[in-house]
C-alpha cells in the first residue's frame, strides 16, 4: 500500500534527481547539491510564510505572557481551561495560530524518507537513458549462479575424509588432474559452504526462489521476469545490484572462490567473460565516488570503518548545532521569549546527536550529504528572511502598555433602549453603578436588594443592564 501511495511521488523526485545528475556532469555528489538547492527554492515560499507567522506570534507573545501571568499560581483545571480559552481567543483576534508556520518543518522528514527511497533505486532514477533493470538482475544472478556451479563442480564440498592439520602436509585446496580434491581441510570446506550460502542468499534477494531451480540444482536462465519480480519486495535489492556493478563484484567473486581452492579452469567454464554487465550499463551510472577515495556515496559510514565517510556524520553534527544557534539568534520568537535564547539540551545537543547517529549507522552517505546541503542552505535562508522580514522589537514601554490595557479592560455591558409606552420592562431589576444614587423619579428602589426597578418612562441614560434578573410578581409571592 505504501508503495502505491509513494510511487508517484518517488517518480517525481527520481526524475528530478536524474535531471540533476545530467546537469552535474554525472557527478553524484554535485547532483545531490543541485537537488537540494531546487528543493530549497521550491519550499522558499513556505519559508516566507513561516517567517511571517513567527513575526505575528512574536507580536502576540507579550499579551500571552500577561494572560499567563494573570493566572500564575492557579493550577486547578477550571482556571487552566479559562486561561487557555483566553489565549486561543487572543490568537484568533490577532489573526494568527499557535502552530502557524510549522508546515516547512514537518515536510523535511518526509522529503528525507522519499529521497532515501529514490537513492535506493539508482538504476531506475539516476542512470542515463532507460536501462532494463530486470535484465541487470538476471545478469547478476547468473554470475552468482556460475560461482555456485564452480564450487559444486570442484567437488571440494563432497570429500568424505577432510584433511586435519595434524595428519597431512598436503597443500590445502590442491586440485588433481581430474578436477577432484586431492586434500581438503574441514576449515576450507566450511569456508566454501559459507561462500556458497552467501551467493544463494544474494540471488534470492535479487528475486530468485526455489521455483527457479531446475532438477540439477541450477538456476534457470532469465528466471527473473515480469511474472517473477520478487526483487521488488526487497527495497534494497536495486541498491545492492548497483553496488554489485560499480564495485565489480564479478572479479571479486572469481578471486574469492579461487583463493578458496576452486581451479581457474572450472571458474572459466562456468563464468565466461561474456557473462558480465555491458559497458553501456556501466557507463550509464553516475560517478558515486566520494572525495576521490575508494568509498562511494552508496556506502553506509558504519560499514566502512575508519574512512573518509566518517566526515559526513561529523559535519552533520557541527552544522546542526550551528543551525540551532543561528535560529535562536535570528528567530522572531527568540526576541520575545526570555527562555528561547538559551534553548534546551534536547534541541541543541540531542537532535544533532540523533541525526549524527542516523547518518552514521542507518542511511547511506548520499542521504547524509543531502542533510548537510539542506542544513547549510537553511542557515542561509534564515539569514536572508531575517533581513527581508526583520524581527519586531518589543520594548519595556510596550509591555507596560499591554499591562495597562489588561487592567483597563471592563466587563461588557448591554444598553437597552426603552420606549415610553413599553411597560414590558417594569419588573426588570437594574444594578446600580458604584457611587450612583437611585434618585430617579422614574425608578422604584428596592432597598433590601440594592436594585432599581426600571420604569417604561425612564429617560436616564445610565440605565444599563449589568445583571438583570426578573423580579417576582407580588401575586406569586402570596402564593
Pairwise pLDDT comparison (407 vs 470), residue with the higher score: 407
Cell of 324: 540551532
Longest distance between any two alpha carbons in the chain, whole Å: 135
Confidence band of 157 (pLDDT split at 50, 70, 90):
confident
What Rg do the C-alpha atoms of the chain give, in angstroms?
39
Please answer whether residues 402 and 395 qualify as being in contact, where contact means their C-beta atoms are separated by less than 8 angstroms: no
Q: Is it the case that residue 478 has pLDDT exceeding 70?
A: no
Q: Chain-wide mean pLDDT for the chain? A: 76
Q: Give the residue with greater pLDDT, 190 vs 400.
A: 190
Express each pLDDT in 374-425 by its tens digit.
Answer: 999 999 999 999 899 887 776 777 777 767 776 666 445 555 566 666 666 5
pLDDT for 312 equals 95
Beta bridge partners of 181: 175
pLDDT surpassing 50 at residue 176: no
Residue with the bigger pLDDT between 163 and 269: it is: 269
Cα–Cα nearest to 373, from 125, 34, 70: 34
Which residues have C-beta within 8 Å of that of residue 261, sequence separation ≥ 6? 154, 156, 172, 173, 174, 175, 181, 184, 188, 192
Cα–Cα distance, 280 to 260 (Å, whole number): 32
pLDDT reported for residue 479? 52
- Choose between 366 and 430: higher pLDDT: 366
- Residue whose entry in the numeric block shows the C-alpha cell 502505491: 4
Residue 174 has pLDDT above 50, yes or no: no
Q: What is the pTM of this model?
A: 0.71
Positive or negative, the CA dihedral 47, 50, 56, 59 is negative
Would you say residue 315 has pLDDT above 90?
A: yes
How does residue 33 score in pLDDT terms, banded at 50, 70 and 90? very high
Mean predicted confidence (pLDDT) in 90-101: 72
Rounded average pLDDT over 311-318 = 96
> At residue 100, does pLDDT exceed 70?
no
Would the pLDDT of 448 be above 90? no
63 vs 67: CA distance, rounded Å: 6
Please report where in the chains the cell 526583520 appears, as a residue: 390
Confidence label for 171 from pLDDT (cuts 50, 70 and 90):
very low
| Domain locations along the chain | 2-123, 131-285, 303-388, 414-479
Stretch among 86-90, 334-338, 352-356 having the lowest mean pLDDT: 334-338
pLDDT band (50, 70, 90) for residue 214: low
Query: Which residue would you say has higher pLDDT here, 58 or 269?
Result: 269
What is the pLDDT at residue 475? 52
- Per-residue pLDDT at 163: 44
Amino acid at each position: 500500500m505504501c508503495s502505491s501511495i509513494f510511487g508517484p511521488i518517488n517518480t517525481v523526485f527520481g526524475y528530478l534527481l536524474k535531471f540533476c545528475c545530467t546537469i552535474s556532469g554525472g557527478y553524484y555528489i554535485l547532483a545531490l547539491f543541485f537537488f537540494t538547492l531546487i528543493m530549497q527554492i521550491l519550499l522558499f515560499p513556505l519559508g516566507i510564510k513561516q517567517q511571517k507567522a513567527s513575526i505575528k506570534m512574536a507580536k502576540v507573545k507579550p499579551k500571552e505572557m500577561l494572560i499567563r501571568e494573570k493566572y500564575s499560581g492557579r493550577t486547578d483545571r477550571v482556571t487552566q481551561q479559562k486561561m487557555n480559552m483566553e489565549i486561543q481567543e487572543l490568537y484568533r483576534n490577532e489573526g494568527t495560530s499557535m502552530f502557524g508556520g510549522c508546515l516547512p518543518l514537518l515536510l523535511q522528514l518526509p522529503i528525507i524518507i522519499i529521497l532515501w527511497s529514490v537513492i535506493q533505486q539508482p538504476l531506475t532514477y539516476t542512470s542515463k537513458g532507460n536501462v532494463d533493470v530486470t535484465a541487470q538482475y538476471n545478469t547478476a544472478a547468473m554470475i552468482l549462479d556460475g560461482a555456485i556451479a564452480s564450487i559444486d563442480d570442484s567437488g571440494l564440498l563432497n570429500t568424505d575424509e577432510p584433511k586435519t592439520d595434524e595428519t597431512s602436509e598436503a597443500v590445502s585446496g590442491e586440485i588433481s588432474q581430474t578436477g577432484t580434491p586431492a586434500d581438503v581441510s574441514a576449515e576450507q570446506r566450511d569456508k566454501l559452504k559459507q561462500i556458497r550460502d552467501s551467493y544463494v542468499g544474494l540471488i534470492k534477494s535479487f528475486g530468485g526462489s526455489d521455483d527457479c531451480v531446475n532438477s540439477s540444482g541450477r538456476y534457470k536462465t532469465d528466471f527473473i521476469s515480469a511474472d517473477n519480480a520478487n526483487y521488488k519486495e526487497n527495497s534494497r535489492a536495486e541498491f545492492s545490484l548497483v553496488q554489485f556493478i560499480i564495485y565489480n563484484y564479478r572479479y571479486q567473486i572469481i578471486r574469492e572462490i579461487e583463493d578458496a581452492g576452486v581451479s581457474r579452469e572450472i571458474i572459466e567454464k562456468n563464468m565466461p567473460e561474456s557473462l558480465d554487465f555491458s559497458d553501456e550499463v556501466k557507463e550509464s551510472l553516475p560517478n558515486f565516488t566520494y572525495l576521490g577515495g575508494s568509498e562511494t556515496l552508496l556506502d553506509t559510514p558504519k560499514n566502512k570503518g575508519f574512512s573518509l565517510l566518517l566526515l559526513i556524520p561529523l559535519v552533520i553534527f557541527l552544522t546542526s548545532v550551528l543551525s540551532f544557534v543561528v535560529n535562536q539568534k535570528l528567530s522572531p520568537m527568540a526576541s520575545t521569549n526570555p527562555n528561547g535564547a538559551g534553548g534546551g539540551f534536547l534541541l541543541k545537543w540531542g537532535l544533532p546527536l540523533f541525526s549524527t547517529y542516523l547518518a552514521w549507522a542507518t542511511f547511506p552517505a548520499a542521504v547524509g550529504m543531502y542533510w548537510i546541503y539542506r542544513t547549510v542552505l537553511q542557515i542561509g535562508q534564515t539569514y536572508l528572511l531575517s533581513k527581508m522580514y526583520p524581527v519586531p522589537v518589543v520594548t519595556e514601554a510596550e509591555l507596560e502598555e499591554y499591562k495597562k490595557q489588561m487592567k483597563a479592560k471592563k466587563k461588557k455591558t448591554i444598553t437597552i433602549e426603552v420606549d415610553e409606552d413599553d411597560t414590558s420592562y417594569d419588573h426588570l431589576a437594574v444594578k446600580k453603578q458604584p457611587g450612583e444614587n437611585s434618585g430617579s423619579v422614574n425608578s422604584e428602589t428596592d432597598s433590601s436588594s440594592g436594585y432599581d426597578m426600571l420604569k417604561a418612562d425612564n429617560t436616564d441614560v445610565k440605565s444599563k443592564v449589568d445583571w438583570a434578573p426578573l423580579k417576582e410578581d407580588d401575586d406569586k409571592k402570596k402564593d
